[in-house]
Amino acid sequence: MRLLIFGLGYTAERIATALATKGWHVTGTSRDGRDGTIRFADTAAVAREMALATHILSSVPPADEQDPVLAGYGAQLARSPAWLGYLSSTGVYGDAGGAWVDEHAPIRGRRGARAAADGAWLALGARVFRLPGIYGPGRSALDRVAEGRAHRVDLPDQVFSRVHVDDIVGGVLAAVDAPPGAYNLSDDEPCGQNEVIAFAAQLSGLAPPPFVGLETLSPMARAFYAENRRIANAKAKRVLGWQLRYPDYRLGLRALSAMTSPTIASAAPAPASSDQR
């Protein structure tokens, strides 16, 4: 098996590692050709690898209102017999007023380029993985609390979904033999961001950060809080046989905390988990 990954970022690197340990030949692209990757703009080298690949995955987000991978290599992707995958975003659903949304929900998000890319990859016959907020080692509420970057916003009815990066890896691997289509990869327990921050502070032995007004946040952060939805993951479980290692944020954060502070993790209260569907 030969996998070509467009864009070796945080999540894609973990997917690459997981498949390499299973004996796959994995090649990735980057902007500058760092660490043995192929330079994205080297069209001849990319085309050669695409011709050899049995599987192609893109983690490259839209830029300048277009998908760079589709813009540069869309014609070859359309001709390729390879398995195709794309890491998309649950942001394509837009605001749902806190309601549950599954893969049949209308695409109406404010991110027009992301929605267009999502649809274009589906049209190519890809497995499109719609991802909510991603957390994992070095990128979680624990890190924001420890670095003094965390805050709580007084929006008690705001609900988000999230997923541990290792569960994304598990979902992509489970989809290697799956039919094309959209798959939501999220944990089982959407909740307010304030709950996550407070639990991270508790695990860290710190006081929860103060509440701040929405008007104090950056435009990007305010746009984040303007959307409110719960992501349903039943299709991925049913079709892919996907099983979550971290079905809620408490399990995920406790595991991350144990990696760096076993004493704090063992002293924390036992986690609870629930499937709200």
**CATH code, domain with 210:** 3.40.50.720
Considering only CA atoms, which of 187, 230, 219, 208 is closest in space to residue 144?
208
Residue 188 domain flag = yes
Residue 141 lies in a domain: yes
Segment 34-44, tens digit of pLDDT: 888 999 999 99
Amino acid at 114: R
Assess if residue 76 is contained within a domain.
Answer: no
Has residue 262 got a pLDDT over 80? Answer: no
On the question of pLDDT at 269 being above 60, the answer is no
- Is residue 94 in a domain? yes
The stretch 206-229 carries a mean pLDDT of: 90
Average pLDDT, the chain: 92
- Read off the pLDDT of residues 2-21 as tens digits, 9 standing for 90 and up: 999 999 999 999 999 999 99
In a domain, 152, yes or no: yes
Task: Give the pLDDT score at 276.
Answer: 25
Picking from 250, 135, 163, the residue whose alpha carbon sits closest to that of residue 203 is: 250
pLDDT for the residue 140: 97
Q: 270, exposed or middle or buried, with CB in 10 Å at 0-12, 13-18, 19+?
A: exposed
Query: What residues does 136 pair with on adjacent strands?
Result: 139
Whether the full predicted model's pTM is greater than 0.85, yes or no, is yes
pLDDT of residue 86: 98
Share of the chain above pLDDT 70, in %: 94
Q: Is residue 138 part of a domain?
A: yes
Residue 276: CA count within 13 A, CB half-sphere: 17
Answer yes or no: is 217 within a domain: yes
Query: Could you report the per-residue pLDDT of 92-114, keeping only the tens digit for each?
Result: 999 999 999 999 999 987 778 99
Domain of residue 186, residue span: 82-267
Give residue 157's pLDDT band: very low, low, confident or very high (50, 70, 90): confident
First to last CA, the chain: 36
**What's the number of domains the chain is made of?**
1
Mean pLDDT of 113-120: 96
Q: What is the pLDDT of residue 267?
A: 33
**pLDDT grade for 261, boundaries at 50, 70 and 90:** low
Q: Is residue 207 part of a domain?
A: yes
- Give me the mean pLDDT over the 128-134 stretch: 98
The number of beta carbons lying within 10 Å of the beta carbon of residue 206 is 13
